[in-house]
Amino acid sequence: QPVLTQPPSASGTPGQRVSISCSGSSSNIGSYTVNWYQRLPETAPKLLVYDDYQRPSGVPDRFSGSKSGTSASLAISGLQSEDEADYYCAVWDDGLNGPVFGGGTKLTVL
């Protein structure tokens, strides 16, 4: 059972805004910054958001991250067909001294 809880699936139509949640605890999300990764089919994960809300260069501003308490969210606005992918949240875990990942959310663009 993943330490971080994500909904297994999410969906939206082109142009819509969707949000994916990630729930943790005070020892992980409550204490450390959250990253979000996108994994397109048959490709390596790609860093979308780090430090809760920062975007690496090249990531469109349609993707935004936020955090409150022990939960984090990834919002995707202006949904596009190419956004159809698996999305994973990740956070540093004190006890592990390493990262833990959510179970992933499969986003379908209808």
Partner 1 sequence: QVQLQESGPGLVKPSETLSLTCTVSGGSINSYSWSWIRQAPGKGLEWIGYIYYTGSTNYNPSLNSRVTISVETSKNQLSLNLNSVTAADTAVYYCARLTRGPWRYDYWGQGTLVTVSS
Region binding partner 1 by CB under 8 A among candidate stretches 11-19, 29-37, 63-71, 72-80: 29-37
DSSP string computed for 71-98: EEEEEE-S--GGG-EEEEEEEEETTTTE
Taking the complex as a whole, the smallest distance from the CB of residue 17 to partner 1 amounts, in Å, to: 24
Site residues for partner 1, window 37-96 (CB under 8 A)? Answer: 37, 43-47, 50-51, 54, 56, 88, 90, 92, 96
List beta partners, residue 74: 20, 65
Pick the binder of partner 1 from 12, 18, 24, 35 (CB under 8 A).
35
Minimum Å gap between C-beta 96 and partner 1 is 7
The β-bridge relationship of strands 9-12 and 105-109 is: parallel
Is the CB of 13 or the CB of 42 nearer to partner 1? 42
Q: Which of 92, 88, 91 is nearest to 103 (CA)?
A: 88
